Amino acid sequence: MNENTSLPATEVSTTRRVPGWAAIIAAVFAAGFLIVVALDRITITSKVLTSPGATRDIGPMLQVDPTKTYNAEGQIEMVTVQSNLQPSILELVGGWLDDSIKISPRYEILGDRTIEQNRTLGQEQMARSLDVAARVALERIGYDVISEAGALVLQIVPDTPASRTLDRGDVIVRAENSEVKTSRDLGELVRAKSPGDSFSFAVLQIDGTIRNETVTLTERDGTAFLGVSISTYVEMDELPFQIDFQVERVGGPSAGLSLTLALLERMLPGELLNGLKVVATGTVDPLGNVGAVGGVEQKSHTVMRNGADLFLVPAGQADQAKAVLGDMIEVVGVETLDDALSRLRSLGGDVSGIQLVSH
């Protein structure tokens, strides 16, 4: 009898070796990932990135006595930028590749300030901006909250009568026995004189004391010359009612124009904006002059992304905004609050009840 003898079973391996090229690719990806992580963690302290931020409707953030306000269809918005004060190498590379991001030397943005000091300064500037905007708006609708009180000395020309008697920050309140309330008053009094004439004036100093001076006027371009650059000095009185602006993580003075327009829109019964969506940036001084701001190009990219019917910017920076926005959104450069109001009126806005003035 024959017996069938079974051979022992054997196991056959089905494991496949990873191809060498796949291992190389995996290693390259892993190394690349580690490099990216490292570049994102290494910060550059000598540069600051300024990138587009957001547009924000000011209306809901303004807190004004309800008995003094009206509802309106229009929308006035402020526009912000984002500042990265401690960018990583990876973010810096991204900034180089993105035309909407500006790379600046750290000192250009912060000066000698720390990040915390810069934040505090921005908050103080925002508070000051609201303080001025509220008074400018109230003054334009009939409240007496700003008083012109003299000629403020801004700059002094060396080797002139002023350089021997005046300091920056001095305020000339009287000249030649006449009251000086504005820079125009002082200019007219000086122009009425001839080179070589004596010129007497009274100065309100920074510490609040008054001193009297007499100088001999020199000559410039054939006319009498004192040697100062001046502006009108104003005193701001108490507000007749409370005005607050509730905003977080935003600082700086550039919301002055938008705040002023938003307050005028809120405190008048007519439609100042005629239902339009208006974005505005620019500082505003107590006389209604609009000043330059930083980051106009980045703000223009923000406006382009979020849309608007009109973008109001300081006159000297209109070309920067137009270079970004082209014909997509109307850009209007303004030197004064009156310029902005005039453009709104031309677009159907109701400016009745607003005092238009020229400086």
- For the chain, residues with pLDDT lower than 50 are 1, 38-39, 359
Indicate the number of domains in the chain. 2
Q: Say yes or no: 175 and 211 in one domain.
A: yes
Boundary (domain end) residue, out of 236, 266, 285:
236
Residue of 293, 303, 347, 294 whose CA lies nearest to 325: 303
Distance of CA 343 to the CA centre of its chain: 21
**207-235: b (≥16 Cβ within 10 Å) or e:** eeeeeebebebbeeeeebbbbbebbbbbe
Q: Say yes or no: 135 and 250 in one domain.
A: yes
What is the residue range of 136's domain?
A: 50-82+118-143+240-346
Q: Say yes or no: 194 and 127 in one domain.
A: no
Q: Say yes or no: 244 and 138 in one domain.
A: yes
Strand partners, 200: 214
The whole model's pTM is what?
A: 0.75
105 within domain boundaries: no
Boundary (domain end) residue, out of 194, 218, 236:
236
67 within domain boundaries: yes
Q: What is the pLDDT of residues 9-40, one digit of tens each?
A: 555 555 556 566 665 776 666 655 555 554 45
The three-state DSSP-derived secondary structure of 245-270 is ECCCCCCCCCCHHHHHHHHHHHHCCC
Boundary (domain end) residue, out of 210, 236, 262:
236
Q: What is the pLDDT of residues 187-214, one digit of tens each?
A: 999 999 999 999 999 998 878 889 999 9
Burial class (CB in 10 A: 0-12, 13-18, 19+), 237: middle
Q: Say yes or no: 154 and 279 in one domain.
A: no
Q: Say yes or no: 331 and 245 in one domain.
A: yes
Instruction: For residues 172 and 152, give the distance between their C-alpha atoms in angstroms, rounded to a whole number.
Output: 7
Instruction: For residues 257 and 253, give the distance between their C-alpha atoms in angstroms, rounded to a whole number.
Output: 9
227 within domain boundaries: yes
Task: Give me the pLDDT at residue 261, please.
Answer: 96
User: Which 3 state secondary structure label does DSSP give 208?
Assistant: coil
CATH of the domain at 302: 3.30.230.10
Q: Say yes or no: 229 and 319 in one domain.
A: no
151 within domain boundaries: yes
Torsion-angle region of residue 252: left (phi > 0), alpha (psi -120 to 50) or beta?
left
89 within domain boundaries: no
Q: Say yes or no: 257 and 230 in one domain.
A: no
Provide, for the chain, the percentages of residues in helix, strand and coil under a 3-state DSSP scheme, each rounded to the nearest 5. Answer: 35, 30, 35
Task: Give me the pLDDT at residue 235, please.
Answer: 87
CATH of the domain at 228: 2.30.42.10
Cα torsion 340, 344, 346, 347: sign = positive
